[in-house]
Amino acid sequence: MPPAHPTRSPTTALIAALPEELDALLSTLEGARPEPLASRTFWRGTLAGQPVLAVLSGVGKVAAALTTTLLVSHFGATRVLFVGVAGGIGAGVQVGDIVVADALLQHDMDASPLFPRHEVPLTGLSRFPADAGFTDAVQRASIATLQAHREVAAFVGRTPRVHRGLVLSGDRFVATAAESTALRERLPDALAVEMEGAAVAQVCHAFGVPLAVVRSISDRADDAAHLDFPAFLRQVAGPLGREIVQRVMQA
């Protein structure tokens, strides 16, 4: 079958999981035009003079996989950047920190004993890699963004840090200490847990499209009292995500 986009020009797709996160990204797009498809609104525009697509993935792996497939095969995205929030799992990954994924794993994938636990059957992979060069750029942008946004430290009561490593995804919001401890014991190098990234990574891997995933840490994935999640989205995650994206597109 011939490629759907034989002459595709470089187009960055920005995916957010929550409406507040998408709104922050859309506020930076120039000439944004909506293109509805499959119960989603895909936005086309430019950012720093470059073609950009922006869309809400929906929550969970199926929604994220469908959205990513359409971005690449229908809209012609040539790289994908997922921006959102996650729960901190790794020791030292605290609320207000930023985690940049270097690989992503579905923690609820288990076809054992036919295949090793976490391996996606018939792919031979449990850890789907993010693109190293693109991820380097996102990490640099994240460090610069935290340095420029000192008010995040005031919001979370400490100086936030940028971490890079393994991100877990599954169709569960992890909200008990027992579950996050079990994840940490099973996958000791995991930094954060969310609900979409590994599905996006599997689709990007299938298409050979570079991916980066950046998540600000909204909770510790335990039963501790939750901070004001809407306020975190509005005051921290939204502005940080927007600025990271702007810096990546300007680099």
Measure the CA–CA gap between 239 and 42, rounded to whole angstroms.
21
Neighbours of 193 (CB within 10 A): 28
Q: Are 197 and 104 in contact (CB under 8 A)?
A: yes
CB of 168 to ligand ADE, least distance (A): 9
* CB nearer to ligand ADE: pick between 45 and 170: 170
Site string for ligand ADE, 47-86 (x = CB under 6 A): --------------------------------------xx
Measure the CA–CA gap between 43 and 67, rounded to whole angstroms.
12
In angstroms, the Cα distances linking 134 to 84, 109, 171 are 17, 27, 26
* Residues between 168 and 197 with contacts to ligand ADE, criterion CB under 6 A: 173-175, 193-195
* CB nearer to ligand ADE: pick between 120 and 167: 167
* CB nearer to ligand ADE: pick between 75 and 232: 232
Measure the CA–CA gap between 235 and 95, rounded to whole angstroms.
13
**Residue showing tokens 């922006």:** 54
Q: Does 203 bind ligand ADE (CB under 6 A)?
A: no
**171 flagged as catalytic:** no
Binding site for ligand ADE (CB under 6 A): 85-87, 173-175, 193-195, 218-219, 221
Residues tagged active-site: 21, 219
